[in-house]
């Protein structure tokens, strides 16, 4: 997805580009089609409404002349309020467009190492082949994850602070680094029983090829199977914390750790999980302070090659220490089909700007593309987890709009107004 968009943007700018693709000579464990832009899981590209986070992202991409949005619109199938595509037709259209462009030369071979010179965009996806993954890891000083064991992320504003409190254990650190969600014995036992009974997502063989990794980042539901008090002596331990409502130490505490500089997002500490998404919302909603939590990302556990991008990339998807090298797609830590494609657009545009001796284009954080690029390059993010499009990554509208529909519509209007100004400025250059 990202590689197609990057190649397309470079070629649209009048620059010849070599596009390397190892298929059909070699396939990853999840791929089976020789076509480009193969959709592995769902054929849905999420909501169409511009007033949704996913819809806003797609509209921003359209305004940049996205190849894959054109292909998606042409191959759309009925799906209610979502943009779903005929996956075979979608990939066929993308492949035809790429192969037909006079400035794109497709090279059908596996790349096992990064080129030593020349402007390069790396868009190898979450299942990067082993040889190239090793080379990327060596280049990045080992800052490459081969396994994605991520906890859910919620918006700060959706946490019921009447039932939670801010504090670090033993008063160490800044108070707002952690939001603490206490539970009494009855609340904990209700949550515990629901966690044990919750339905889990299926696991692919290639996701679990290294059981030692799985043990090292054990799902919270598996940890719970080891005994009723295992969580209370693990990620839910209440030591060093006192609930100001009672003046006593709680029976158990779920800690939320600040996820971004703005403090708009928090992750559930120690809650890496393989529960189905609906089950996560139901079970974790039994934690009193999270009864109305808005989940911006659910927990996942699968093989996923991604960079520790906040340490490595700037907001133009360019390596800080090697400005000739760009990364795009899920390997950067954006999560989702269109999120990956959108990063390819920016990486491609900035590769051209690098060639022409221009500064990279950094989109403002009020746009969804800019906010995602800002998130993956935010050096204050200490424990990086991949992120998809959501309104939690955008700076809030001021004054605050209480009605969620109206608030999201205002966020979308602001983003597109800013993006139109930027695109017009780029066209004048």
pTM score, whole prediction: 0.80
3-state secondary structure of 110: coil
pLDDT value at residue 423: 93
pLDDT value at residue 212: 43
Residue 172 tokens read as 């160490």
pLDDT value at residue 214: 45
The answer on pLDDT for 42 being more than 90 is no
Lowest mean pLDDT among 164-173, 277-286, 343-352: 164-173
Angle, helix 67-74 to helix 53-63, in steps of 10 degrees: 110
DSSP state of 200: B
Tens digit of pLDDT for each residue in 281-301?
999 999 999 999 999 989 887
- Residue 207 main-chain phi, psi, to 5 deg: -75, -30
Task: Classify burial at 207, counting beta carbons within 10 Å of its beta carbon; exposed 0-12, middle 13-18, buried 19 or more.
Answer: buried
Number of Cβ within 10 Å of residue 26's Cβ equals: 12
Domains and CATH numbers, the chain: 2-146+304-428 (3.50.50.60), 150-301 (2.40.30.260)
Average pLDDT for 243-261 = 91
Q: What is the DSSP string of 297-353?
A: E--EEE---EE-HHHHB-TTSBBSS-TTEEE-SGGGTB-SHHHHHHHHHHHHHHHHH
Tens digit of pLDDT for each residue in 360-410?
999 999 999 999 999 999 998 888 888 999 999 999 999 999 999 999 999
- Residue 330 main-chain phi, psi, to 5 deg: -65, -20
């Amino acid at each position: 997805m990202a590689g197609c968009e990057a190649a397309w943007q470079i070629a649209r700018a009048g620059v010849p580009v070599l596009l390397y693709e190892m298929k059909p000579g070699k396939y990853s464990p999840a791929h089976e089609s020789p076509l480009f832009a193969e959709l592995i899981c769902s054929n849905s590209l999420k909501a169409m409404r511009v007033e949704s986070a996913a819809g806003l992202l797609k509209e921003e991409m359209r305004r940049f002349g996205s190849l894959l949005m054109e292909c998606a619109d042409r191959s759309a199938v009925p799906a209610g309020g979502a943009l779903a595509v005929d996956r075979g037709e979608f990939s066929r259209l993308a492949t035809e467009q790429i192969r037909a462009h006079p400035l794109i030369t497709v090279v059908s071979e596996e790349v096992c190492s990064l080129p030593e010179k020349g402007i390069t965009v790396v868009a190898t996806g979450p299942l990067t082949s082993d040889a190239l993954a090793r080379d990327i890891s060596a280049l990045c000083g080992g800052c490459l994850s081969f396994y994605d064991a991520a906890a859910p992320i919620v918006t700060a504003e959706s946490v019921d602070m009447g039932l939670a409190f801010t504090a670090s254990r033993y008063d160490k650190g800044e108070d707002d680094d952690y939001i603490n969600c206490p539970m009494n014995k009855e609340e904990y036992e209700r949550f515990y029983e629901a966690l044990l009974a919750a339905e889990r997502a299926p696991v692919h063989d290639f996701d679990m090829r290294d059981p030692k990794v799985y043990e090292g980042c054990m799902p919270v539901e598996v940890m719970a199977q080891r005994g009723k008090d295992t969580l209370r002596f693990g990620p839910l331990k209440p030591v060093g914390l006192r609930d100001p409502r009672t003046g006593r130490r709680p029976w158990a505490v779920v800690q939320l750790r600040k996820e971004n500089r703005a403090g708009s997002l928090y992750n559930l500490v120690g809650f890496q999980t393989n529960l189905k998404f609906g089950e996560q919302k139901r079970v974790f909603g039994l934690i009193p302070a999270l009864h109305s939590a808005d989940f911006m990302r659910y927990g996942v556990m699968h093989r996923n090659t991604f960079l520790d991008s906040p340490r490595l990339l700037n907001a133009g998807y360019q390596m800080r220490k090697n400005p000739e090298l760009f990364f795009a797609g899920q390997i950067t830590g954006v999560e989702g089909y269109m999120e990956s494609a959108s990063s390819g657009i920016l990486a491609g545009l900035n590769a051209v700007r690098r060639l022409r001796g221009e500064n990279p284009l950094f989109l403002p954080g009020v746009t969804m593309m800019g906010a995602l690029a800002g998130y993956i390059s935010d050096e204050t993010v200490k424990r990086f987890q991949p992120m998809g499009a959501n309104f939690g990554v955008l700076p809030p509208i001021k004054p605050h709009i209480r009605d969620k529909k109206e608030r999201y519509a205002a966020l979308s209007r602001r983003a597109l107004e800013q993006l139109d100004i930027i695109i017009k400025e780029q066209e004048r250059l």
